[in-house]
Homo-oligomer: A and B are copies of this chain.
Amino acid sequence: MSATIAERVLGGDIRAASRLMRDIDDGRASAIPELQALFPKTGRAYVIGITGSPGAGKSTLTDRLIAHFRMAGKKVGVLAVDPTSPFSGGAILGDRIRMQEHATDDEVFIRSLATRGNLGGLSRATGDCVRVMDAMGMDVIIVETVGVGQDEIDIAQMAHSTAVVVVPGMGDDIQAIKAGILEIADVFVVNKSDRDGADRMVRELRAMLELRHAIKAPPMDHDAHHRMVVAKAHGTHQPDGDAAPEEWEPPILKVIASSDVGVEELVKAFGAHFDWLNASGERSTREMTRARMQFVAILRERLLRSALKRLEAERGRLDEVSARIARGEADPYALADELAGKLGG
């Protein structure tokens, strides 16, 4: 009897994993039993999120991170999520081609996700694909997302550690870093930091973090705090038991990914953050958040598919119903209520 897809994925079979991830991306129901079989075998991988505006150099940075993690003997999975291409499908080719320098390395597995359509399946597909890479035995999984929308924030929340990548001179600098991004960043990367304005950007980020800190927590000794942060960023910080670090202050790292400047420091910052996650108990909080996001994403898409199926059976195709709504002949609120009412809600 031949092995199931799930068994082959657990054995590290690249072809089986690729096929399963394609089915996940396409939203095929056949992927679900395989995911259910993989589910108990997951939870080992360290998941890193890399996010930031288009053009911030995330792909180059991811490429460098792969090389660093490979040198440390880690198996690396990369999931490049590109929600900006709902129609044309996928990221600009160059990004992906560049990463293909690792294509002949068996311990590196790179896939792009470009879930399209309006069923909102992106977070669900991302969570599921992370799970597949986890089950394959990847030690580190890098989830690279373009953009700063709600979906990207959701996806960032699926990671243990998230780096927000910014570039000097992108728009109005400080304006470019919105509050939500501050909240999801565990590490700030000021990439292309040989450009004019890098130091100003670092200062402005620091000022925003301090402002946030002042709002969130009672005033504290800033220098001591800063020393702790620096120690953490350099991997030299050790939680000392009697005073476990309660709050993580995101380090701000100057990086030039294209020439590998500052990337080792970034890897160390991730390591320090992961140690902090474990020491502070934050790891289980994040894993619960991740489980919640994934579950809600699975549920949302599943419900919508069922409801639309029912709608189409009873009221005609979604496009026809939409045309009636557009002409004012059907009430979208009443229709939604009617369909949801059958759920007993």
Within 8 A of B (CB), among A193-215: none
Are B343 and A303 within 8 A (Cβ)?
yes
Contacts A86-B153, A323-B288 known; A294 to B332 CB distance under 8 Å? yes
- B-contact 0/1 string along A149-185, CB 8 Å cutoff: 1111110000000000001011111011111111100
- A287, B298: Cα distance in complex, Å: 29
Closest to A311 in B: B299
A241 proximal to B (CB < 8 A): no
Closest to A294 in B: B332
Within 8 A of B (CB), among A109-140: 118-120, 122
For A291, the chain B residues whose CB sits under 8 A away are 322-323, 325-326, 332
Count the A residues whose beta carbon is within 8 Å of the partner chain — how many? 97
A228 proximal to B (CB < 8 A): no
A278 proximal to B (CB < 8 A): no
Are A336 and B298 within 8 A (Cβ)?
yes
A302 proximal to B (CB < 8 A): yes
Closest to A326 in B: B291
Q: A120-B120, A339-B343 given; name 17 further pairs at CB < 8 Å.
A: A36-B334, A54-B177, A83-B153, A84-B153, A84-B179, A88-B183, A94-B175, A146-B178, A149-B150, A151-B151, A167-B170, A291-B325, A298-B332, A299-B335, A299-B336, A303-B304, A303-B307
